[in-house]
């Protein structure tokens, strides 16, 4: 296959983008794709315990999304939208800035609670250096909006503070959610465990690299930003046990996939436990060594996420699945429906 960026393209009507979550997490549709014969069946997430088998292992990402989208004003009165995406020190953050004019270096941005920051440039990166303020930590944790994706074309609402997190979220550090995990409720997890299907949790902090657009026509030349992950030893033990019993390791989302595949040590043929960083960009031709199945949402055209699932299932199978999902009125993107590839 010629690795041209156009291979990752498809047309999606705006009405297929899920603007809001369903009332119940597990009511999402589930398209099941057999990557061997491209067979497709349709069901719902709530029936997943009957689809997976005993001794299978499903792995979740327990990262938590920081509510670090803030709205402030320049000294000239102009409005500024800021998204803090990495804390470099107590009062210094990497940030994405959006305003109706170009923001200059050393400009001051004023926020609520008397909080203010100076904009600093370092190459293409933008830093916000906040002034000392006794209300700063309280403002940082309570005044920000959940950074829902821009393609939803709305500001975050009260529902997003609960539903733009998974029920596993406990380790703050991400600017976006591992959305495949949205479909799981406590009730569904209880059914999964009752059916003797094992579960495990890892952490990968999702940064801007996951969503950075691919600009190279030959998309293999795209460079991923590094993201931190942490894989407990007990999870490695569960993976080894699962494979020894003939079970499948099912990654819940592309972030879990990248973390597990990044941690694989080729010369030892094992998954390495502990902390690490991943800049792994999975493209067609990649040999998967850890995961046997993938539950994921439907992704944006020309994205690194779409490249990953094409690598896992094959281009023809994914084209068939996406065409079928459009025909069958599946909901797309973060709050949308899901696909299970095995």
Rounded to 10 degrees, the C-alpha dihedral 277/283/285/288 comes to 40
pLDDT at 224: 82
Q: Among residues 112, 144, 176, which one ends one of the domains?
A: 144
| Alpha-carbon 335 to chain mean position | 12
- Residue 78 in any domain: the answer is yes
- Reported as a pLDDT band with limits 50, 70 and 90, residue 3 is low
Q: 229 vs 95, 224, 278, 279, CA distance in Å?
A: 21, 15, 7, 11
Pair 197, 300 in one domain: yes
Pair 14, 140 in one domain: no
State yes or no: pLDDT of 47 exceeds 80: yes
Residues 176/151, Cβ–Cβ less than 8 Å:
no
pLDDT tens sequence across 162-173:
999 999 999 899
Pair 215, 173 in one domain: yes
State the Cα–Cα distance between residues 210 and 303, nearest whole angstrom. Answer: 9
- Residue 154 in any domain: the answer is no
> Of 322, 289, 293, 327, whose CA–CA distance to 306 is shortest?
322
pLDDT tens sequence across 187-237:
999 999 999 999 999 999 999 866 667 777 777 777 888 899 999 999 999
Pair 52, 79 in one domain: no
- Residue 151 in any domain: the answer is no
**Averaged pLDDT for residues 280-301:** 96
Pair 228, 298 in one domain: yes
- Residue 209 in any domain: the answer is yes
Both tokens assigned to 227: 């993201």
- Residue 153 in any domain: the answer is no
State the Cα–Cα distance between residues 91 and 115, nearest whole angstrom. Answer: 11
Pair 257, 326 in one domain: yes
Pair 47, 74 in one domain: no
**Averaged pLDDT for residues 28-56:** 97
* Alpha-helix residue ranges (DSSP H) falling in the chain: 48-51, 136-142, 158-163, 186-194, 233-244, 254-262, 304-313, 315-327
pLDDT at 133: 86
Residues 114/138, Cβ–Cβ less than 8 Å:
no
Residue 210's domain spans which residues?
Answer: 5-65+159-341
- Residue 13 in any domain: the answer is yes
- Residue 58 in any domain: the answer is yes
pLDDT at 211: 62
Q: What is the mean pLDDT of the chain?
A: 94
Q: Domain containing 88 — which CATH number?
A: 2.40.10.240
Pair 294, 325 in one domain: yes
Number of domains in the chain: 2
pLDDT tens sequence across 104-141:
999 999 999 999 999 999 998 999 999 988 889 999 99
Q: Domain containing 237 — which CATH number?
A: 3.40.1780.10
Pair 200, 220 in one domain: yes
pLDDT at 225: 81
State yes or no: pLDDT of 297 exceeds 70: yes
Residues 6+ apart with CB under 8 A from 190: none
pLDDT at 267: 75
Pair 255, 140 in one domain: no
State the Cα–Cα distance between residues 222 and 213, nearest whole angstrom. Answer: 9
Pair 205, 336 in one domain: yes
Pair 285, 190 in one domain: yes
């Amino acid at each position: 296959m010629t690795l041209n960026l156009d291979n990752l393209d498809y047309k999606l009507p705006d009405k297929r983008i899920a603007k809001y979550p369903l009332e119940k997490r597990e009511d999402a549709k589930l398209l099941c794709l057999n990557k061997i014969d491209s067979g497709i069946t349709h069901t719902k997430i709530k029936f997943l315990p009957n689809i997976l088998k005993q001794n299978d292992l499903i792995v979740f990402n327990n990262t938590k999304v920081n509510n670090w989208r803030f709205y402030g004003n320049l000294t000239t009165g102009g409005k500024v939208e800021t998204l803090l995406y990495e804390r470099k020190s107590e009062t210094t953050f990497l940030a994405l800035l959006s305003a109706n004019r170009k923001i200059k270096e050393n400009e001051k941005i004023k926020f609520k609670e008397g909080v203010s920051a100076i904009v600093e440039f370092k190459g293409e990166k933008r830093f916000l250096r906040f002034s000392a303020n006794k209300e700063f930590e309280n403002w940082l944790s309570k005044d920000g909006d959940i950074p829902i994706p821009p393609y939803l074309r709305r500001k975050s609402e009260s529902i997003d503070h609960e539903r733009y997190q998974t029920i596993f979220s406990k380790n703050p550090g991400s600017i976006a959610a591992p959305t495949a995990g949205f479909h799981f409720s406590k009730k569904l997890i209880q059914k999964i465990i009752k059916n003797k299907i094992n579960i495990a949790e890892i952490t990968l902090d999702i940064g801007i690299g996951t969503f950075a657009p691919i600009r190279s026509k030959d998309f293999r030349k795209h460079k991923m930003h590094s993201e931190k992950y942490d894989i407990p030893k007990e999870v490695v033990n569960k993976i080894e046990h699962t494979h020894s019993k003939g079970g499948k390791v099912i990654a819940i989302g592309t972030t879990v996939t990248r973390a597990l595949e990044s941690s694989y040590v080729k010369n030892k043929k094992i998954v390495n436990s502990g902390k690490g960083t991943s800049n792994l960009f999975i493209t067609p031709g990649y040999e998967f060594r850890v995961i046997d199945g993938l539950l994921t949402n439907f992704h944006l055209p020309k994205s690194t996420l779409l490249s990953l699932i094409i690598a896992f299932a094959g281009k023809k199978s994914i084209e068939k699945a996406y065409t079928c999902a459009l025909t069958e009125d599946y909901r797309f993107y973060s709050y949308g429906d899901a696909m299970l590839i095995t």
